[in-house]
Copies of this chain bind each other. A is one copy, B any other.
């Protein structure tokens, strides 16, 4: 049977799955990763310490808020480094893994081609394609070992080649997003010098930021914006409430 693609069928220039590529955009994913934690954890920590410190210290002009700003900035430094370097190592490990697997596939194609051929047959059989119908495909791959190897990487292992520059870019993006997100809940403590009032402003400002961030995140990742906005809002609120209660219980 011939494939039914008449030559007068126009080539679709805008692919139907365009948003899929954007959705997978690594920069967006890294910003979301860093900012989600950056907006949440320093916010919750600041709320937690606000709930725990001495009432006298809390209403003493500047002293209570200075402590919270100090702890908050320490958290932002620690969190952004931990997440940024973590992202760097994850991206590097992914690349090393890909290269190791590619070397292995290369060796297997040379050393045990019969086994590799059988793997293709088995994969295609799970989709109801018989060994006979797979034979021309295998014969074509055998004429070009490099492409055979790439075929096995994608279709046997489901691995795509990672971008070599990804690790460094990923680390910088995650860390910066964490810092930007983390400064939002701390700013009120810098400008308002009594803790309870700074805490109220921080809660309002950060919950708005969480809502807006969730909304944008939803738009770029394909979740409904309102759902996504409510999710980040609830996570940030829960984390801050838990931190507040636990800090108050132990102090």
Contacts and interface: CB of A to CB of B under 8 A. Distances in A.
Majority DSSP secondary structure for residues of A touching B: helix
A251 to B, nearest CB: 5
Nearest to A37: B82
A44 B74 contact: yes
A59 to B, nearest CB: 18
Interface in A232-251: 234-236, 238-240, 242-247, 250-251
Interface in A168-190: none
A118 B5 contact: yes
A67 B100 CA distance: 48
Interface residues of A, number: 99
Contact of A150 (B127, B136, B247): B127
19 contacts: A3-B138, A4-B114, A5-B117, A9-B114, A17-B104, A40-B82, A41-B79, A48-B77, A52-B67, A74-B244, A77-B245, A77-B247, A81-B239, A82-B236, A89-B231, A100-B222, A124-B137, A128-B141, A154-B158
Interface of A: 1-6, 9, 12, 16-17, 20, 23, 36-37, 40-41, 43-45, 47-49, 52, 66-67, 69-71, 73-75, 77-79, 81-83, 85-86, 89, 93, 96-97, 100-101, 104, 108, 113-115, 117-118, 121, 124, 126-141, 143-144, 147-148, 150-151, 154-155, 157-158, 160, 221-223, 231, 234-236, 238-240, 242-247, 250-251
Contacts of A79: 37, 41, 239
B118 A3 contact: yes
B83 A71 contact: no
Most B CB within 10 A of own CB, among A121, A136, A148, A222: A136
A49 B70 contact: yes
A194 to B, nearest CB: 19
B73 A71 contact: no
A170 B225 CA distance: 24
A236 to B, nearest CB: 8
Contacts of A238: 81, 85
